[in-house]
Structure 1
């Protein structure tokens, strides 16, 4: 497996974790703090994706690729990217938010940590992404380590545990599908164009369809005109760089390996949160991180064909 791909993936995971911490901080500020647990994260996600669309539009304009977007949308790769945006954006995000509200964030993160395994199975079925026994052992270790680090018993009403777990599983399925769809499309589309399509699709779906349906459009407008917007701008920059790294990683290593490396974002998120809270990492976080690193190390020794370096990865 590409050492370069692992490096890119780990940097992306670090920034993805930073984005999660910044977004969580933003949700604790006005006007989000007084909004419902469904409306606040979705409004923040809409702003995040809207800013991401602007950043990627500027990058593609600078690189002279902006004109190619309409043409890409008419291709099979473009349709795959649209589907990936719907799976990873509205579907997975809404399911994840619902799970957090029903069983608490720590338990929701624990269940959704299975998304690399979901992606690996789907990649094996649809992309013929071959992973040997050593690689599967690495995937299992990485998922187990992430779950160990994040585990907490379900919070809230125990009657909602089954429903909350179901929504968390749907989120893991959505993110796993997203990785496979992007990996298939990345063979023919540059990472910057692919991410631009993703961000615009997710933004339009959430801002135009979902927010009006739940009466949260005003919340998003209030956030844009308040001081929390600066936090969201910073978070969106971390998000864009992390997602560019994710797409590049997919092109370098394929879906199974990339999703596993990126699962380390859970470790980074917990580490940032712990340190910013003035505490030292506990045994569960340290042991979970060690298990994740062992899993990635095992996966890196799986050199079976399946991770294809495509032309878009050179960009």
Structure 2
């Protein structure tokens, strides 16, 4: 009888370990998918800002707009349109899942307020800086923005006294060296005009997203991740539309009426909105996959998997805009691809000991034997 019980117990333990292993692998797959979707979001957003009325604004005649308006006001508007589309997808999903009531209830809570704060940092500041940097320097800025996990680790140590061991410091150094490799392409006579400034602005996006990650960590630990995403995207879209774009309009364009006219034209430009809607969907799915993947494989490993957008971003932009769209300037020098892959490894080192992946694999094989 004891032998039978022992056999059943061993089988149950083996089944549990197999289930846990499959759960981890699924989480890693979902988190990796989030990085891929972020790459497509970047490509479709950029494509949308070349179509319809955007083609006139960024065209040879620039529709009478000044260089400052083209760079900053249109950058903020592009971010606002994309985040608004993403928020609409998030609300549709929450409604479909029967969680719209929870969304409105969570907004009034302290964790909900934390998520709103995180969205205000990552939306008007980082998202706009990201779009402006993309327009100025192209997809080369994407690996720079992927520094956000390294920045988040540093800010976590400063703000919340979180542990920062030697392995994490090594990962941060790898990421910083990678960013210098990428930045080196903006120095020299053959570097496109505005590339250096675009890379500097990309650092602002990375800083904001790193800070957002620290702040949002608290909120997502107490709120359903799907509700947290909806709060984040809705806040980001609205704050961009009703705060940042009007402020930029007053500073650079002559008034709120000016920015309002641009906003109406942007949302009524059918050829562009198709791509913005698609970009917003990819952004929503990316965040959704990132949060779900984190809950399944852990925040550290999920962060490392999501950091693969440092590779997928330039790759998707090259495919969608360069190869399929026939646009020039989206091919990247070999050093950027090498640096992007190196930065992915640096992010992995920050998140975990890479050797643990092999140890887990070996342990699973031994258990199976």
Question: What SS does the aligned partner of 2:41 have?
Answer: helix
Match status 1:272 vs 2:316: yes
1:206 is matched with which residue: 240, 249, 257?
A: 240
Q: Which residue of 172, 186, 196 corresponds with 1:153? A: 186
Assess if the C-alpha contact under 8 Å between 1:87 and 1:178 holds in 2: yes
Q: Report which stretch shifted further, 188-197 or 263-272.
A: 263-272
1:227 maps to 2:271: yes
Which one has the largest radius of gyration? Answer: 2
1:261 maps to which residue?
305
- 1:77 corresponds to: 111
**Rounded Cα–Cα distance in structure 1 between residues aligned with 2:108 and 2:303:** 27
The structure that is helix-richer by fraction is 2
Describe the SS at the equivalent of 1:38: helix
TM-score normalized with structure 2 length:
0.69
Alpha carbons of 1:210 and 1:287: their partners in 2 closer, same or farther (altered >3 Å)? closer
Corresponding position of 1:119: 152
Distance 1:198 1:41, change over 3 A: same
- CA distance in structure 2 between the partners assigned to 1:3 and 1:144 by the alignment: 30
Q: Do the aligned partners of 1:27 and 1:41 also contact (CA within 8 Å) in 2?
A: no
Contact 1:119–1:259 (CA under 8 A) maintained in structure 2:
no
* Aligned-partner Cα distance in 2 for 1:303–1:128: 26
Once residues 91 and 167 of structure 2 are traced to their aligned partners in structure 1, the CA distance between those partners, rounded to angstroms, is 41
> Aligned in 2, Cα 1:280/1:187: closer, same or farther, shift over 3 Å?
same
Shift of 1:117: 1.1
Q: Identify which of 207, 216, 224 aligns with 2:259.
A: 216
The unaligned stretches of length 5 or more in structure 2 are 1-20, 58-69, 250-257, 324-329, 357-369
Contact map agreement 2:307 2:344 (CA 8 A) in 1: no
| TM-align CA RMSD | 3.3
Q: Distance in 2 between matches of 1:168 and 1:94?
A: 10
Match of 2:41 among 1, 4, 19: 19
| Secondary structure of 1:156's aligned partner | coil
Alignment equivalent of 1:301, drawn from 353, 357, 361: 353
Q: How many residues align?
A: 300
